Chains A and B, each alone.
Chain A
Amino acid sequence: MTTIPVEEVLRKKQTFERGDEDRRSLIDPRAELLALEAEGELVVQRIDREAVSVATKYGREKRIQKAHLWHHKSCGQCGHIPGYSTSIFWVMRKLGYDYHDPQDQTSCTAWNYYASATSNSAAQAAVAVRNFAAARETGYFPLIHCGTSYGHYKEVREELIRHPELRDEVRKIMARLGKELVLPEEIVHYSEWFYAMRHEIAAKAVRDVSGVVATVHPACHYYKLVEGDAIYDPDIYGGQRTAVVTGLAQALGAEVRSYSTWFDCCGFGFRHILVQRDFTRSFATLRKIEVMKAEADPDVVLTHDTGCVTTLDKSQFAAQAHQRNVGVAVLSDAQFAALAMGAHPYKVCQLHWHSADYRPLLEKMGIDHEQAWAEFQADIKRLENGEKRYLDWDDVDA
Chain B
Amino acid sequence: MTQTDTGPGAPAEADARLKLSAAAGYADVPLAEKERLFDEVRADPRFGDYLYGCYECGICVAVCPSARFYDFSPRRIAQAAAREDAELVYQQMVEDIWECSQCFSCVRCPRGNNPGGLVTIMREVAINNGLASAKEALVGYSRIIYKIMSTGTQVSPDMLQEDAFPDWGPETADVSVNLDLWRRALPPETLHTTNTGWKVADSTLIELYLIWLHTGALDMIADVDPSLHAILTEVMEERLEEEGIEI
Q: Which residues of A contact B (CB under 8 A)?
A: 12, 15-18, 22-24, 73-80, 82, 85-86, 89-90, 101-107, 109, 111-123, 126-127, 130, 134, 151, 158-159, 162-163, 165-166, 169, 173, 176-177, 220-221, 224-225, 227, 263-265, 267-272, 274-275, 277, 279, 281-283, 287, 314-315, 317-318, 347-348, 350, 352-355, 376, 379-380, 383-384, 389-393, 395-396
Contact = CB atoms under 8 A, between A and B. Distances in A.
B98 A89 contact: no
B86 interface: no
A316 to B, nearest CB: 8
Q: Is the interface of A mostly helix, strand, loop or mixed?
A: helix
A117 B124 contact: yes
B36 interface: no
Contacts of B44: 121
A270 B63 CA distance: 17
A227 B200 CA distance: 31
Instruction: Name which of A117, A176, A265 has the most chain B CB atoms within 10 A of its CB.
Output: A117
B103 A78 contact: no
A77 B155 CA distance: 9
B214 A176 contact: yes
Interface residues of B, number: 91
Interface in B157-185: 157, 159-160, 165, 167-169, 171-172, 174-175, 178, 181-185
Given A101-B188, A111-B155, 19 more contacts: A18-B52, A80-B159, A86-B186, A103-B199, A116-B137, A118-B217, A120-B215, A120-B217, A121-B46, A127-B211, A272-B101, A317-B167, A350-B186, A352-B175, A353-B171, A353-B182, A389-B184, A390-B189, A393-B187
B101 A15 contact: no
Contact of B63 (A101, A176, A263): A263
A396 B188 CA distance: 11
Given A159-B46, A383-B184, A103 B215 contact: no
B153 interface: yes
B148 A112 contact: yes
B223 to A, nearest CB: 11
A350 B199 CA distance: 19
14 contacts: A76-B154, A77-B197, A78-B197, A105-B204, A106-B152, A107-B153, A118-B138, A118-B217, A123-B217, A130-B208, A176-B210, A225-B104, A272-B101, A282-B69
A324 B93 CA distance: 36
A243 B176 CA distance: 37
B207 interface: yes
